[in-house]
Structure 1
Amino acid sequence: MYDVIKTLSLFAYPLGAFFLLAAVALALRLLARPRGAIAVALFALAWLWVWSMPVTADRLNASLEAQYPYLPVDKVPTADAIVVLGGAFSNDAAWPYPSAGGSIDRYWHGARLYHARRASKLILSGGRHPERPENLSEAEAGREFLLDMGVPDEALLLDNLSRTTHDHIRYLKPMLAEAGIERLLLVTSATHMRRSEAVFRHAGLNVTPVATAFSVPSDPVITLRRYLPSIRGLTGSTRAVHEWVGYGFYWLRGWL
């Protein structure tokens, strides 16, 4: 089910929708309806252009990030533990160290909060890739990074099973109850925080959101390039759409 949902969701993203529109245009051309084919093809190109503009990406991500402004570490309240939601690492058996992506800020900020004595425990939540079960889990890769950041091993608790935002609740809640942890600092990317906080609060957990990895410039410079298609723009738009689609799906499932 996990793989099916992930695969189907691809067609809700801007690039997936573009290819669906391109397929429709091709079908119309094969059915000898050239005007319809041209109209759909032009719409598909305009669609991809709009979603690939950095200004589109920034506005979409700002709609997710705006309610979670940057909070200086010394202004973060203390808690029983810091929960860092995974999503930063990938690894290959041929390479001994995990490779970090943009979400590495989550772990970095978790270490920053720990060293500022905001909490005495750091919980890492993230399972193994379903196609590479023999490799490190996300939480285990995060542990290696945090050890290098000076966080002691005894301060770390690992959830090696979670693969989705909702899974974090399924596997973390029993762990928290067993450890007697009640107050949490929830660390994840700013665009991911709305869905994450809603899931944790729906489960009855006491969380303080501490967002990191902000993607929208606080004072963007208006240039022509912000209206031209780019990989950055398409990636940013896709990230925002992923969160809004995920939020809607979780709402329908009653997880929020």
Structure 2
Amino acid sequence: MQDLFFYVSKVFWALASPDHLLLLLILIGLLLVWAGKRFGLWLSLVSVMLLLIVAVFPVGNLLLKPLEQRVPQAELPKQVAGIIILGGAEEAALSAMYKQPHMNSAAERVMTLPMVAEIYLDVPVVITGGSSSVLYQQYRGADVVAQWADQIGLRDRLIVERQARNTFENAVYTGELVDKNSGQWLLVTSAFHMPRSVGIFRKQGWDVVPYAVDYRASGNNFAIQFWRNMRDLSTAVREWIGLLAYYLTGKTDQLLPEVEANPQ
């Protein structure tokens, strides 16, 4: 069942991703024009206009803010049973190709490792993340973090979980490596991703304390940065779709899970 969910989600997102969807609508519109359908011209023009709007206005901010603002910015708790850092910051294929760790725009997730490892000296630190790729399962994100941790002298602190392909599997497979009932676990991931992550982990029986990083929503209402605007819009749309899909399939108890302030 997990395999079906994984593959269906990949096919769906390949079509629903805003950049793919708009380009597909333009192509369909042009084909309709070629077939003599006037509607095709309107479809292409509207799709091009939407692309231009995204090129100028950071529309993604409107969708990211409710997710990130749901995450309280609080101090680290005094004590935790362990630390879980969710993968997704790694460029696993590039890292394997060039034999050195490569990170993407979510690198803040991994950048917390030295800090939390120093604050919490005697607790397990789990990095969880396999491959979210359908075709290149041999490249695992957790391997990249392990390589980087080895370079900075923290490899011995890590418990590496390299099978998970999504957040649900992060919670399940991490639970097979450590005792999730040993107390509160610090959960590190991107702010926009934290509500869904907290909902999933708690549904699996984890007592997690959120520590959000990698905030994306800015106060800009105008920014001619097409690549970044489209990236943030795609990130936001994907996360909202993920919240709905995980709720409908029973992987979370709430459509938009509550994220309480960190206990001290």
Correspondent of 1:164 among 166, 179, 203: 166
- Measure, in 2, the Cα distance between the counterparts of 1:167 and 1:196: 11
2:36: which partner in 1? 32
- Asked whether the 8 Å contact 2:58–2:220 carries over to 1, the reply is no
- Asked whether the 8 Å contact 1:14–1:238 carries over to 2, the reply is yes
User: After the TM superposition, which parts of structure 1 deviate over 4 Å for at least 4 consecutive aligned residues?
Assistant: none
2:208: which partner in 1? 207
TM-fit CA distance, 1:31: 3.0
Q: How many residues align?
A: 245
Are 1:63 and 2:74 counterparts? no
- Measure, in 1, the Cα distance between the counterparts of 2:176 and 2:93: 28
Q: Sort the Cα spacing of 1:46 and 1:221 in 2 relative to 1 into closer, same or farther, 3 A.
A: closer
- Asked whether the 8 Å contact 2:30–2:41 carries over to 1, the reply is no
Identity of matched residues, %: 23
TM-fit CA distance, 1:98: 2.6
Q: Secondary structure at the match of 1:101?
A: coil
Equivalent AA in structure 2 for residue 169 of structure 1: A
1:187: which partner in 2? 188
- Measure, in 2, the Cα distance between the counterparts of 1:53 and 1:69: 30
Alignment of 1:201-240 (within 5 A): 201-217=202-218, 220=219, 225-226=222-223, 228=224, 230-240=226-236
- Asked whether the 8 Å contact 2:146–2:155 carries over to 1, the reply is no
Q: Sort the Cα spacing of 1:86 and 1:26 in 2 relative to 1 into closer, same or farther, 3 A.
A: same
1:126: which partner in 2? 129
- Measure, in 1, the Cα distance between the counterparts of 2:121 and 2:49: 48
The CA deviation string for residues 180-235 of structure 1, in whole angstroms up to 9 with x for no partner, is: 64321000011111111110011121000100011123xx355xx42x46111011
**RMSD value, Cα:** 2.3
Where does structure 1 lack aligned partners over 5 or more consecutive residues?
Answer: none
Alignment of 1:1-150 (within 5 A): 1=4, 2-34=6-38, 36-72=39-75, 75-89=76-90, 90-92=92-94, 93-117=96-120, 120-128=123-131, 131-135=135-139, 137-150=140-153
Q: Sort the Cα spacing of 1:205 and 1:55 in 2 relative to 1 into closer, same or farther, 3 A.
A: same
Correspondent of 2:248 among 245, 248, 252: 252
Q: Secondary structure at the match of 2:186?
A: strand
Report the TM-score when normalising by structure 2. Answer: 0.83
Report the TM-score when normalising by structure 1. Answer: 0.85
The CA deviation string for residues 111-135 of structure 1, in whole angstroms up to 9 with x for no partner, is: 3122122762210101145534444
The CA deviation string for residues 138-179 of structure 1, in whole angstroms up to 9 with x for no partner, is: 1121122233344350x21111110111111221122223x8
